[in-house]
Amino acid sequence: MNNTLNIELSPKQCEFIQNATHRWNGKIGATQCGKTYVDTLYVIPERILSRRDKPGLNVIFGVTQATIERNILEPLRDIWGDSLVSSISGRNTATILGEKVYCLGTEKVNQVSKIRGAKFKYVYIDELIDANEEVFNLIKSRMSLPYSVCDFTGNPSYPSHFVKEFIESKADVYCQNWTIYDNPFLDKEYVKQLEIEYEGTVYFDRYILGQWKMAEGSIYKKFAGNPLNYFIESKKISYEDIMEINIGIDFGGTTSGHSFVATGITYDYNELYGLASVKYMNSDYGSDGIDADKLSELAIDFIRGVHEKYGLVDYVYWDNENTVLGNSIKKSIEREFPTVKVRPCVKEKIVDRIEMTIKLIGSNRFRFTEDCDTLKLALQGAVYDKKAKKDTRLDDGTSDIDTMDAFEYSFTSRNMKRFIR
């Protein structure tokens, strides 16, 4: 253990240690407010050691094993040392203070099925809100020992979320609600920047104030209210600062269209430029619409235009749900532009893509040029579906989801986490 560690706890953290004596003990609230720190410092080690030699399994759940390593095991190691906290083995286990702990993801049921039938004596769930509900129900069924206990953390989401319903049920649950202001150790400038980034959005209510809040109305309110604040003439862009130019392509249906969006990323992932965008409607190309050959021709024309005005394109990411069209344009593009890498997109969760765009807009790290008419209109028109019970973009033809998808593919397929500050 690090003997030079200077331990300071906030009143909220001390309150949790004192009152977390129930079967289910949780902290739901703002980001970066100290929820997990008290768990790695005290709660997790105490729960594991107090159940040593008792029957049952210790299990840590996270969205993925990578997030468990980053959010839980690395902080534990920083406090308790490498010799007392191991990495996750090929058998999905780690050793914490001499005790075996299973480390499993909560997105897929088959992860929990690997230890189906086992009884859990201690469970820790990181980012519970992102868990698969069926996985959560399996966890509940395995907490069947008299001393079984679960600790969990998460950021709030929409009010009808199954986790909120569970917290408010008759189950033996102690749950704290946290705001970002409950962490007195956060740098004030950092808090100020977060407030600016999330201002006027549902994420301010959730990630700053720690409230369960429904997403409503315009998604990109700051942009929609005054898009000129984010406009930059192409001739004013310093192309020496752009390290990468990518294109996203979304394939539309017969009643929709195919969208192309080119974005430029500056060094250190400091800014994102919307360089050019266009949308071709199937209805404009006769009764048969746009076939694979025509789509390849349009893609090549778009890339050539970006090449000539903004610089060489590095990557093209196409909608991975249409392999036939994707492979067709891949062959055509690589034949015409051998240096361009053409790949199927990696589809991050839509809510994560939305949040990243909101942060870039909120922190003035996004700009668009005069060649982005369709992207501008798509950002202005993007709204939440008011009839949905969870965060869902309205997709009824009244807003340009195709262009939004193409835009997001262009910078999130390989780079999204690199923009995070």
- For position 1, what pLDDT does the model report? 47
Residue 303 has pLDDT above 90, yes or no: yes
Distance CA 383, CA 395 (A): 9
**Strands (DSSP E) found in 183-312:** 242-250, 257-266, 272-281
pLDDT in tens, 30-72: 988 889 999 999 999 999 999 999 999 999 999 999 999 999 9
pLDDT in tens, 100-156: 999 998 877 776 666 667 899 999 999 999 999 999 999 999 999 999 999 999 999
Mean pLDDT of 372-377: 97
pLDDT in tens, 381-418: 999 998 888 889 998 888 899 999 999 999 999 888 88
Mean pLDDT of 263-283: 94
- For position 414, what pLDDT does the model report? 87
Q: Which residues pair with 173 in a beta bridge?
A: 24
**Helices 323-336 and 292-310, axial angle in degrees (round to 10):** 50
CA angle 245, 248, 249 (to 5 degrees): 145
- For position 260, what pLDDT does the model report? 98
Residue 301 has pLDDT above 50, yes or no: yes
Helix (H, G, I), strand (E, B) or coil at 334: helix
pLDDT in tens, 203-259: 999 999 999 999 999 999 999 999 999 999 999 998 888 999 999 999 987 667 899
* Mean of the per-residue pLDDT values of the chain: 92
Domains and CATH numbers, the chain: 11-208 (3.40.50.300), 221-419 (3.30.420.280)
**Helices 350-362 and 401-412, axial angle in degrees (round to 10):** 80
Are the C-beta atoms of 317 and 410 separated by less than 8 Å? Answer: yes
pLDDT band at 295 (very low <50, low <70, confident <90, very high): very high
- The helix or strand, by DSSP H or E, that contains position 65, with its residue range, turns out to be helix 65-68
Contacts of 154 (CB under 8 A, 6+ apart): 26, 27, 28, 127, 128, 129, 130, 163
Tokens of 303: 């890339």
- For position 113, what pLDDT does the model report? 67
Whole-number Cα distances in Å, 236 to 192, 241, 302: 29, 12, 21
pTM: 0.85
- For position 238, what pLDDT does the model report? 83
- For position 285, what pLDDT does the model report? 80
